Amino acid sequence: MTIRTADFGEDFTWGVASAAWQVEGAWNTDGKRPSVWDEATLRGRVRGGLVALEGSDAFYRLDEDLDLLQAMGVTANRFSVSWPRVYGDGRGPWIDKGGEYYDRLVDGCLSRGIEPWLTVHHWDLPQALWLEGGWTRRGIVEDFAAFAEQLALRFGDRVKNWMVFNEPLSVMGHIAGGIFEDRLGPRPLKALQSMHHMNLACAEAGRRMRAALPEGHKIGTTNVFTLCAPFDATGRLKKAQRTLEALTVDAFLDPAGGLGYPFEESVFLRPLKRYVQDGDLEACAFDYDFMGVQYYGPTPMKSVPLVGGLPVPSLRGAEANVKSTTSIPVEPKGLTEILRRYQHHPACKRFVITESGFGGFDRKDRDGRVRDDLRVWYARTHLEALRDAMDEGIPVDGFFQWSYADNIEWIFGREGRYGVIFVDYDDDFRRIPKDSYRWFQQLLTTGEVD
């Protein structure tokens, strides 16, 4: 089938996405302070060891990377600002050298006709704030809101589209697994407490940013949008799925939409009640201009008596025929289904697909070419699924491919390559456009691709 940009509308945004810690490197340069992921790397929690601190060397290759994005034909570049690079140990003062890097990034995008989309926080919490309790400390709501306000004041003259927080569910998972602790192990209550504070922080940051930004600027956020497979379950299995989905999706969307927490739908959420204070449910609500959809695939699960659904690492059936390097099963139709389910949610005025992509064990051929047919197939099928949703009238205004270049895939290190540009770590981080880059380039520069 042919994919045409015209099928998505003239005002549709075509972009790529990345996160500061995953690509920048320069982890202690120009006054930058340590983040929780820097510390996790030093403790051996990231595969590959200290090389993870080098990222993709993007800090030193800013112009080269932006030139590649311009040649690719994208209209937007989604990036995040490293909290400890510009705001030290979490509460300032502002670090001028760190801020200058993002000035060059924003201005470099604009000079190439690329719209900068800024994510306030993509997981690199300052280590100093973690030592004070991290997201379990209620005071972090004020810390985060003050940081977000600073970014809005400093970049709001040039950046019109903002995302408050990237995937709070994932941060909750890191905390639940004890990744940043001295010892790994389950910490479910810390995770629930952190989730509530993240919901409060996102809303308060949104209010501060809206007051600081010029009129007409857009504020959204991103959340994991997943659903349990199979999608057509009935009876006990459907009820078990609902228990898990209420924890993974609704526990973030419902508070933002003024609906409170879905306590009655998920037994996993009920211990959270001990952390909710008077006025908190009202304070969690914020009128986002758009909701960022992070969809990679469905969640395999099993039904557990008296508990509900639990995620499992594997799934039998068609959905498991293809998996990414991070074990996410691929099911393009799930994107259409998840948009249908949440199109009328009060937190979802309109959608932007802020992350979609496929992780592979990409390698160079002898001729230096990187053939990533699975990533091309993934992109094509998910764009077809998105087009189906838009044909049904579901409001979706943009699509961001994750990621523009190979990067550090968190605990997986360099093993999971998600980029459309190959980073040759053995040859001074040399950039090599993959076949998927050429596929997107044809789509975005000619208007269609087979």
| Strand 161-165 with 421-424, pairing | unpaired
Structure tokens at 16: 């790529």
Q: Report which residue type is found at 66.
A: L
Among candidate residues 253, 225, 228, the one with its CA nearest the CA of residue 241: 228
| Strand 421-424 with 430-433, pairing | antiparallel
Q: Are 221 and 292 in contact (CB under 8 A)?
A: yes
Q: Report which residue type is found at 391.
A: D
Tell the residue number behind the tokens 């015209």, with chain if given: 6
Q: Give, as one character, the DSSP assignment of residue 166.
A: S
Structure tokens at 167: 């995937």
Q: Are 121 and 165 in contact (CB under 8 A)?
A: yes
Among candidate residues 362, 323, 405, 428, the one with its CA nearest the CA of residue 67: 405
As beta bridge partners, residue 76 has: 15, 115
End-to-end CA distance of the chain: 6
Query: Using DSSP, how many helices (H) and how many strands (E) does the chain show?
Result: 15, 14
Q: Report which residue type is found at 382.
A: H
Among candidate residues 404, 296, 434, the one with its CA nearest the CA of residue 358: 296
**Would you state the torsion angle of the CA atoms of residues 269, 394, 168, 355, taken in this order, to the nearest 10 degrees?**
140
**Would you state the torsion angle of the CA atoms of residues 431, 436, 440, 446, taken in this order, to the nearest 10 degrees?**
100
Active site residue 167: yes
Catalytic-labelled residue, pool 167, 245, 319, 337: 167
| Strand 448-449 with 308-311, pairing | unpaired
Tell which phi-psi region holds residue 172, choosing left (phi > 0), alpha (psi between -120 and 50) or beta: alpha
Among candidate residues 85, 218, 221, the one with its CA nearest the CA of residue 150: 85
Name the packing angle between helices 188-212 and 140-155 (round to 10°): 30
Catalytic-labelled residue, pool 115, 204, 355, 409: 355
Among candidate residues 311, 362, 413, 312, the one with its CA nearest the CA of residue 40: 413
Active site residue 100: no
Q: Are 432 and 422 in contact (CB under 8 A)?
A: yes
Catalogue the active-site residues.
Answer: 167, 355
